[in-house]
Structure 1
């Protein structure tokens, strides 16, 4: 195996990188290209190639000088963990830095995957030692990758962070999705869709590149409606940058009244999944016709069936509405590699127990399915 570290994906073919992503948009070349634009961080990509120079593994390593999101700041996520005195005010984050859905990108069927992960970790730890405080944080990993990384964690237990949601799309049509669920789910979905149809909206499906400016004020309006900071100019710049970086992967599902767009969902499409990324609505008017579910769930599902994708990725948070519409729930974890510190296993277990109790309460009966032996070892 040959290991290389580069500072941009510009020289890495998108098809080669996407072969490592497992169909996840948040591990894709397009999303990495967008994250490279962040002025508050720089990036190193650790690439591993086999004897035939085929790319078999790779991971982005972000050197973050200023982190605006508490969801990606280890000091705020884990206040009980010891923090080493830093000679450089910089945090090292490994893997997708936005989207709350991380993985260790390797080509499918890689026979020596565990050894390749070890090599990735060694390279990441070297970057962390040279560029920051010697610690590297791997956040929002799926459970199987968290388990694979655990042998290399720096004397600390994995930390439970969140629960991810996705809806499997069996068969070849939306009716097949309905048929796969319970009678309560079918009743809920049909009620949603009947309410939306009765509201008399016209609908569209457009490339993100053609309408990023139109959806920006709607996303800002929805965030403001939920009490989140949302400067319209900032949102507009964000949407423009995302559109330019992700190019033809973005698709917008929108509803219109009186010839004006009033609701939208930005989705991203891979060969395997459709990801609902952002929802927007003009909250100067009522939103009482299941617009959220029509645009964020059902129309992206129908689009996924047309393109052959097999799941709708919905992300973290608001678990019960997703579960009621057929979503499966997957736990997400954070681990640290590099410099070993005196982490308190009791504090880690207390963190995991408290987080699990909260998540399990949100999941209801779905918590039993989401629990696992890996979770048990961390409690």
Structure 2
């Protein structure tokens, strides 16, 4: 078993939106709220006519909705979403700033005869948005997070029930005995291989996607994220058998994509040692396969949709400069 190690830059907060803004399936605008010259709130707003990702098709994930143009507020591809609000805003000013973001999403939706939605928002964000939008949240899914107590992998294991500790050790032993060559790579170095395995995973979860499309999507992410995404990959006989793509942000490791060759993969491997080595206190594992994640120590929290409330009508073309500003 061998490995390749190198330092990686920490992602800036603006790099994920930058990685998404050139997606040809949506037109992006930005709502910015200023208070006496200081930026206090922001939200990307995506005007979407055609959504290739079925988990972001509102009419497929929210009961009772019809197909049509939508404005997606906040993150469009991250599956964990919340309005960007300055952490030191006092409650009244926070509510006012959030109201400005909601109004901007409604205004853009009204101009394009679309319906605004905030998708996959966290519990706390859903409660605030429900007040600001005047709409009850709709539960969409759950996100899994593994808390990391102490400072080592053994501390993580100690927090698991005895039977689960045995299973995790067995999985890691099988992974080690398979003799994989382990590599730590930049996404730009392996996007095509990773895309092919990510497509296999999507198909396994009943979300069929073309491997070429997945590879192109990962290449776009690599460019937009300026090389800050980290890929841990296992190779067998010179071919990638599994990978995980993640970023280190806000004291946690965020898993962005995974993929497996199910005919060749043995055992399991999560980036927990990497997280401890970089001082992270949690690993966010995203949605899907929640039982498998909870068995490895994951705890789940709900993700919600909140409607903005503008009724659809005849579609109009939305134009204007890319950054929009309110307040």
TM over 0.5: yes
Cα offset, 1:185, TM superposition: 2.8
CA distance in 1, matches of 2:293, 2:104: 38
Secondary structure of 2:226's partner? helix
Cα offset, 1:45, TM superposition: 0.8
CA-atom RMSD, angstroms? Answer: 2.4
CA distance in 1, matches of 2:19, 2:198: 19
Cα offset, 1:143, TM superposition: 0.8
Residue 282 (1) aligns with residue 261 (2): yes
Q: 1:319 to 1:172 in 2, by over 3 A?
A: same
Q: 1:160 to 1:223 in 2, by over 3 A?
A: closer
Q: Could you tell me which residue of structure 1 aligns to residue 321 of structure 2?
A: none
Matches of residues 193-342 of structure 1 in structure 2 within 5 Å? 193-224=172-203, 228-283=207-262, 285-287=263-265, 289-290=266-267, 293-294=268-269, 297=270, 300-339=271-310
Q: 1:222 to 1:126 in 2, by over 3 A?
A: closer
Matches of residues 86-165 of structure 1 in structure 2 within 5 Å? 90-111=69-90, 112-133=93-114, 135-154=115-134, 156-165=135-144
Secondary structure of 1:247's partner? coil
**When the two structures are superposed, what TM-score results if normalisation uses the length of structure 1?**
0.73
Q: 1:337 to 1:226 in 2, by over 3 A?
A: closer
1:92 touches 1:132 (CA, 8 Å); kept in 2? Answer: no
Q: Could you tell me which residue of structure 1 aligns to residue 168 of structure 2?
A: 189
After superposition, what is the alpha-carbon deviation per residue over 1:232-278, rounded to whole angstroms, capped at 9, x for unaligned? Answer: 32222122111111122211111122343322112222242212222
The count of aligned residue pairs is: 301
Residue 48 (1) aligns with residue 33 (2): yes
2:95 touches 2:132 (CA, 8 Å); kept in 1? Answer: no
- Return the structure number with greater helix share: 1
1:201 touches 1:256 (CA, 8 Å); kept in 2? Answer: yes
CA distance in 1, matches of 2:64, 2:43: 28
Q: 1:163 to 1:226 in 2, by over 3 A?
A: closer
1:209 touches 1:250 (CA, 8 Å); kept in 2? Answer: no
1:128 touches 1:338 (CA, 8 Å); kept in 2? Answer: no
Cα offset, 1:226, TM superposition: 5.4
CA distance in 2, matches of 1:67, 1:228: 13
In structure 1, stretches of 5+ residues that fail to align are 1-14, 19-27, 342-379
CA distance in 1, matches of 2:94, 2:130: 14
Q: 1:65 to 1:340 in 2, by over 3 A?
A: closer
After superposition, what is the alpha-carbon deviation per residue over 1:115-159, rounded to whole angstroms, capped at 9, x for unaligned? Answer: 2111211222222212233x31111110111001112334x4211
1:140 touches 1:333 (CA, 8 Å); kept in 2? Answer: yes
Secondary structure of 1:161's partner? strand
Residue 68 (1) aligns with residue 52 (2): yes
Cα offset, 1:281, TM superposition: 2.5
**When the two structures are superposed, what TM-score results if normalisation uses the length of structure 2?**
0.84
Q: Could you tell me which residue of structure 1 aligns to residue 323 of structure 2?
A: none
Structure number with the bigger relative contact order (C-alpha 8 A, sep ≥ 6) is 2
- Runs of 4+ in structure 1 displaced over 6 angstroms? none
Residue 38 (1) aligns with residue 19 (2): no
Cα offset, 1:227, TM superposition: 5.3
Cα offset, 1:225, TM superposition: 5.3
Q: 1:158 to 1:224 in 2, by over 3 A?
A: closer
In structure 2, stretches of 5+ residues that fail to align are 1-9, 313-327
